[in-house]
Amino acid sequence: MKHLPRLTFAHLPTPIEAMPRLAAALNSPPLFVKRDDQTGLALGGNKTRKLEFLLAEAQANGARTLITTGAVQSNHCRQTAAAAARFGLDCLLVLVGKPPQEASGNILLDGLLGAEIIWTSRAQREHTLKAAFDQAWEQGRRPYLVPYGGSSPTGAAAYAFAIQEMLDQDFHPDWIVFASSSGGTQAGMVTGARLCGYQGRILGISVDEKAPLLQERVATLASQTSELLGEKIRFAPEEILVNDNYLGGGYAVMGSAEKEAIHLFARSEALLLDPVYTGRAAAGLIDLARQGFFPPGQSVLFWHTGGTPALFADPYRDV
C-alpha cells in the first residue's frame, strides 16, 4: 500500500487473544479478540488509529484547532480531544444533546482534556458545526474538521493498515466481526483485505443503520480509500457484509441483548464492552454463534473497537 503521512502515537500492534471460556459458553468455534480498546490514547479505541493519519493531515494544513461532532457520549470526540491535547491543539466538540447535570463517562473526559463543548440538536448539527468552523477560522484559530467518526478516506486507511498488522501477527481468521456505524472502520478493513490478500469474511454488525444504507456508505468509502492507497478498486454494496438484525431500540439504547453481552464478556473473559457499539456487536456475535452461523472449525475474531468510558456514564450505570 502507498505510504501516507502518519503520526505514531497509538500503542500498536494491539494484541490478539483467545477467548476459550466464551467459546465454551456458546458452544462455538474458536473465538479471538483484537484489542483495539488498548490503543492507548485516553483509554483507547478504534478512532486512535484513524487520528494518526488525520492529525498528520491536520498538521500539514497548519491546523491549530480540531473540530468534530458526535453524540453526547461519543468515543470519537473523546479521542479527538485527547489527540488535540497530546499535540498542543485546541479542540471544539459539537455534541448532539443537552448538557448533563453531572459530567460522567466521555463527557467527563472531554472536559478533563480541555475540549470546548458546543451543544446542538440533531436537526441543527451540520449548521452548528459549520458555524463553529467559520467562527474559528475568522478568529484565526486555523481549524481542521475531523470527519464524523473519522470516516474519510484518510481515516479509513488506518484500518487497511490494521488488516496488514493482523496478518503480520500471523493471524488469519475465517471471520472478523465488529461494530459498524459511520463506516470508516469497515471500509478500511475491506480495502486492506483486498490489497493484502486476506481471504476471510469481514462482517459489520450495524449499531444504527439499515444494511442497504450502510453497505452503500462502506462501498463508496472503500472505493475512495483504495484510490488513496494507490490502487483504484470499485467496491459494490453487495460485497459488503452487514447484519442489521441487532438494532434493538435504536442508537445508544441499551437493551437486554447488550446487557447480556456486557456481562458475558466480563465474566467469561474479563473483557469490558461499551453499551452503544461493542456491546451491540457482541450481542450479534453471541446470537449468531448460538444459531450455529459460524461453521465448525472456522475461527472468529471479534475486533474490539473500544468505548469503555461509556460504561461509567449516567444512562448506563444500571448495566
Give 20-37 pLDDT, tens digit per residue: 999 999 999 999 999 999
Are 201 and 264 in a shared domain?
yes
Active site residue 74: yes
pLDDT band at 291 (very low <50, low <70, confident <90, very high): very high
139 band by pLDDT with thresholds 50, 70 and 90: very high
Same domain, 132 and 240: no
Note whether residue 263 is domain-resident. yes
- Would you say residue 296 lies in a domain? yes
User: Residue 113: which domain range?
Assistant: 47-148
What confidence category does residue 50 fall into, taking pLDDT thresholds of 50, 70 and 90?
Answer: very high
In a domain, 3, yes or no: no
Q: What is the mean pLDDT of residues 96-103?
A: 93
Asked if residue 284 and residue 173 are part of one domain, the reply reads yes
Q: Per the structure block, which three cell numbers stand in for 112?
A: 478533563
**Residue 252 shares a structural domain with residue 282:** yes
Is the bond into 147 cis (omega within 30 degrees of 0)?
A: no
Look at residue 318 and tell me whether its pLDDT is greater than 90.
no
Count the domains in the chain. 2
Predicted confidence (pLDDT) at residue 133 exceeds the cutoff of 90: yes
Look at residue 316 and tell me whether its pLDDT is greater than 90.
no
In this structure, the answer to whether residues 140 and 204 fall within a common structural domain is no
Mean pLDDT of the chain: 97
Q: Are residues 89 and 226 in the same domain?
A: no
Q: How far apart are CA 179 and CA 182, in angstroms?
A: 10
Q: Which of 156, 276, 164 is nearest to 218 (CA)?
A: 156
Q: What is the mean pLDDT of residues 101-116?
A: 96
Residues 28, 129 share a domain? no
Assess whether 190 and 219 both reside in one domain. yes
Q: Is the pLDDT of residue 120 over 90?
A: yes
Q: Where are the beta strands (DSSP E) in the chain?
A: 16-18, 31-35, 65-71, 90-96, 116-120, 143-145, 175-180, 201-206, 241-243, 300-304
pLDDT at 314: 81
Question: With pLDDT > 90 as the criterion, what percentage of the chain qualifies?
Answer: 97
Kindly report the CATH number assigned to the domain that includes residue 198. 3.40.50.1100
Q: What is the pLDDT of residue 273?
A: 97
Is 80 exceeded by the pLDDT of residue 317? no
Residues 57 and 107 in one domain: yes
- Using DSSP's 3-state secondary structure scheme, residue 219 falls into helix
Reported as a pLDDT band with limits 50, 70 and 90, residue 52 is very high
Whether residues 111 and 201 fall in one domain: no
Q: Please give the DSSP secondary-structure letter assigned to residue 40.
A: -
| Beta strands, E only, 148-258 | 175-180, 201-206, 241-243
Whether pLDDT at 268 is above 90: yes
Domain match, 157 and 133 both: no
Per-residue pLDDT for 173 more than 80? yes
In a shared domain, residues 217 and 306: yes
Residue 295, in any domain of the structure: yes
Lowest pLDDT segment from 40-44, 174-178, 215-219, 313-317: 313-317
Catalytic residue among 74, 152, 180, 181: 74
